[in-house]
Amino acid sequence: MSNYQTNKPGDDNNRTSDHRNREEFEETPTWAAVVTVLGYAILSALGWLRDFLRHIGLEEKRTAHDPNPKDFVPLYQSYECFYTRNLYTRIRDVFNQPIASVAGAKVHVMERVSDDYNWTFKFSGKKIPSINLGSYNYLGFAENQGPCSEQAIKSIETYAVTTCSTRHELGHQRYVKELESLMAEYLNVEDCIAFGMGFATNALNIPTLAGKGDLILSDKLNHVSLILGARLSGATIRTFNHNDMKDLEAHLRKAIISGQPRTCRPWKKILIIVEGVYSMEGSLCKLPEIIELKKKYKAYLYVDEAHSIGAIGSRGRGVVDYWKVDPNDIEIHMGTFTKSFGSAGGYIAGKKNIIDYIRVSSHSACYSSSMSAPIVQQIISALSIIMGRDGTNDGQKRIQQLACNVRYFRRQLVDMGFIVYGNNNSPVVPVMLFMPAKIAAVNREMLKRDCAVVTVGFPATLLTESRVRFCISAGHTKEMLDHALKAMDEVGHLVSLRYSKKNPHHRWVELDHADYDKEYTS
């Protein structure tokens, strides 16, 4: 029934080369694309009409007024305001949903009500217990009990909550050095430096590594933190098509042959920037091929493993582990602690001379406060469990359970006829919605069925590529996943989400569940 191959969780050796690189990006049906564009066109037309009615006083204007005096250049971009007023506000209830519990496998969503069409909200006082399918809690370490929480709480008794200083002044505590040493050992590299914010790890450190006269080759689907960091660097930026090695090589060849614009001088250096797992697509970078190209053309490689570290590979060491490449073939290893480790912050790892340079040159290292003791201790505790230093195999069990859950969940979505993007083994599972009305409908209907999900649309995605993005966790039980699959089956039938032309359409009860249960019994 399924187009997917199955293998034992965590077993990399029995994956074929094709299965490793198997990614689904089924083309948008033409009729769905046309209807989606028409939907946005109708919404925009109605929006302009309502703006006109507000302007002449027939409709109350609820938005903030531009504070600038008359004849000044507008402070806000007009289309952004228009989009917020007339499109985003209509479905604002499905975004920024507050929770009132630990963001574990289950979460309590605080119910909000609005009597003015989502311009304002009030809390009803009701908490909705839901299966959490939106948080990046890949290994299930987002907990308020257990060894990680206990050690994090204990660290406050010793070190308090903060140092109130940067590491260049009086904020260099030994627990941060312990984290960096442990992370370098885990990644099998020479050195590592940790930062208090994952976004800033990219945005403020890429300018340290690249500048004027350098060329950055960036995947078109890279995260905004990478885009911002590249822009702040002052380097020339060129993008290549997502995971397209031929296009990347064409850019590399052109850069080597033509050099810099106008002067034709050689680039000082060329930096290729990619992600391990792309957070909106669920795809994995083609790391072996990228390494081959970067060696061939003498470029440097920056790999963002925010969504792959801990979540991919038989030992949870990211795409480097998944593809079994030499960590020394990558100059810059970047990742965050906000996902698989259940904490906050980010890191950059690699050769000692590069990390030493970042320590003294990075704005993030010089001007940000030192990481908080409980935050660091949470990471150290989770990392120790993953590495097996706690004397148990709990870390390996979590890694295997995540891999098992991902295949179990993804296979059934595909076999029900949904268009599912991404790699077979990615914990990010996007299901395509396409039409703007379905962004809100799917979110609301899933919450009615006790499933908290994240739906995403334009401008975070292309106009015709709205989606619901499931994030699978090792903390999810088979019963939770079955409940979510049943709910998605019902919602998919209700709002017509089965777009796939490659796979037959089935209801969840029609599937051969014994086949999928092998994921849990093998």
**274 in Cβ contact with 299 (< 8 Å):** no
Contacts of 519 (CB under 8 A, 6+ apart): 6, 9, 404, 407, 408
Q: Of 327, 372, 333, 13, which Cα lies nearest the Cα of 205? A: 333
C-beta atoms surrounding 54 within 10 Å: 15
Q: How far apart are CA 403 and CA 314, in angstroms?
A: 9
**Residue/partner pairs of 126-131 with CB below 8 Å, 24 or more apart:** 127/100, 127/101, 128/447, 128/450, 128/452, 129/450, 130/106, 130/447, 130/450, 130/451, 130/452, 131/105, 131/106, 131/107, 131/450, 131/451, 131/452, 131/476, 131/480, 131/483, 131/484
pLDDT at position 84, please? Answer: 81
Structure tokens at 451: 């499933």
The tens digit of pLDDT for each residue in 455-506 reads 998 888 888 899 999 999 999 999 999 999 999 999 999 999 999 999 999 9
pLDDT score, position 249: 97
Residue pair 139/342 in contact (Cβ under 8 Å)? The answer is: yes
- Give the separation between CA 223 and CA 185, rounded to whole angstroms: 27
Rounded CA-CA distance 144/146 in Å is 7
226 to 198, 290, 356, 358, 522: CA distances (angstroms): 11, 18, 21, 17, 40
CB atoms within 10 A of CB 453: 25
**Cβ neighbours around 151 below 10 Å, total:** 16
Strand spans (E) along 317-435: 332-336, 346-350, 422-423, 428-434
d(CA 316, CA 474) in angstroms, rounded, equals 12
Q: State the Cα–Cα distance between residues 505 and 499, nearest whole angstrom.
A: 9
Query: Which residues are bridge partners to 24 per DSSP?
Result: 422
User: How high is the pLDDT of residue 76?
Assistant: 66
**Percent of the residues in the chain that have a pLDDT greater than 90, as a whole number:** 75
Write the pLDDT tens digit of every residue in 93-115. 999 999 999 999 999 999 999 98
Beta carbons within 10 angstroms of residue 76's beta carbon: 13
Q: Hey, what long-range contacts does 283-286 have (CB within 8 A, 24 or more apart)?
A: 283/23, 283/25, 283/242, 283/243, 283/421, 283/422, 283/423, 283/426, 284/23, 284/308, 284/312, 284/319, 284/322, 284/423, 284/425, 284/426, 285/219, 285/243, 285/319, 286/21, 286/243, 286/245
pLDDT of residue 171: 80
Question: Residues 284, 423: contact at Cβ < 8 Å?
Answer: yes
Three-class DSSP labels, 491-520? HHHHHCCCCCCCCCCCCHHHCCHHHHHHHH
| CA dihedral sign, ordered 133, 134, 138, 141 | negative
Write phi, then psi, for 272 (nearest 5 degrees): -95, 130
Number of other residues whose CB lies within 10 A of the CB of residue 185: 12
On whether the CB atoms of residues 246 and 270 are closer than 8 A, the answer is no
pLDDT of amino acid 5 = 38
- Domains, the chain, with CATH or none: 93-132+397-521 (3.90.1150.10), 147-387 (3.40.640.10)
Q: Which residue has the tokens 């040493």?
A: 181
Per the rule left: phi > 0, alpha: psi between -120 and 50, beta: everything else, 458 is beta
* Angle value at C-alpha 264, between 263 and 266, nearest 5 degrees: 115
Identity of residue 347: Y
What tokens were used for 32?
């769905």
**φ and ψ at residue 75, rounded to 5 degrees:** -70, -35
For residue 317, the SS3 value is: strand
* Alpha-carbon span 337 to 334, nearest angstrom: 10
Which pLDDT score, from 0 to 100, does residue 99 have?
Answer: 95
pLDDT score at 67: 58
Which portions of the chain are predicted below pLDDT 70? 1-21, 63-69, 74-78, 520-522
DSSP 372-398: PHHHHHHHHHHHHHHTTTTSSSHHHHH
Which pLDDT does position 26 carry in this prediction? Answer: 87
Residue of 347, 343, 354, 432 whose CA lies nearest to 379: 343
Peptide bond into 9 cis (omega under 30): no
Is residue 317 within 8 A of residue 323, CB to CB? The reply is no
